[in-house]
Structure formats: C-alpha cells, structure tokens
Amino acid sequence: MPRGTVRIDEERCKGCGLCIAACPQQVLGFSGELNHSGYNVVHMERPSACVGCAFCAMTCPDIAIEVYRQKVPAQS
C-alpha cells in the first residue's frame, strides 16, 4: 500500500501542470485524456510513490485535488 494517494476531479482540472512540477515524488503526469472543457487532465503515473504530502493540492489553482494519507499506527 502507498503511504498516500490523491483523487483528481477531472472536470475541474485545467491541465496547467503545476501539480506535476510540485510533486517531490514524480507521481503525477498528463493522462492524454481530455475532459469536457478540452483540457488534458492530470493522473497518477506512479501511484505507489505517493507519500500524501499534499504539495500538489496546495499548488492546484482549481482545487481539483484531494489528498489521503495512511493512518499512522498508534505508538505504544
């Protein structure tokens, strides 16, 4: 299981690519699929590398990205 993952709202994505550049793990890339507005939307190319840092989501001007992270096991 990856440490984190993202959900991209494809209809909000405008394909600007800022998230691709912001991701320290090179998780994201252009999918080549166009949404209804004609934008080449972003998807996860290497989902297993995601750490759930949310850099991509912070950078997204269209708030198209939600980020999930593994629950940290309770310390005993």
Partner 1 sequence: MQVETADMVKVFSRPQSLTAAKSTYCPGCHHGILTRIIGKTIDELGIAERTVCIAPVGCSVFAYNWYRCDAIQAAHGRASAVATGVKRADPNLIVFAYQGDGDFASIGTAESIHAANRGENITVIFVNNQVYGMTGGEMAPTSLVHQKTTTTPAGRDPAQVGYPIRFSEMIAQLDAPTYITRQALFDTRRILDTEEAIKKAFENQVNEKGYSLVEVLSTCPTNWRMSPIASNKHVADVVTEVFPLGDLVDRR
Instruction: Enumerate binding residues for ligand SF4 (CB under 6 A).
Output: 4, 6, 22-23, 25, 27-28, 50-56, 67
CB of 29 to partner 1, least distance (A): 12
Site string for partner 1, 4-43 (x = CB under 8 A): xx-x---xx-xxxxx--xx----------------x---x
Other C-beta atoms lying within 10 Å of the C-beta of residue 24: 10
DSSP 62: T
Query: How far is the CA of 21 from the CAs of 50, 60, 72, 76, in angstroms?
Result: 14, 11, 27, 38
DSSP state of 36: T
Is the Cβ of residue 47 or residue 75 nearer to ligand SF4 in the bound state?
A: 47
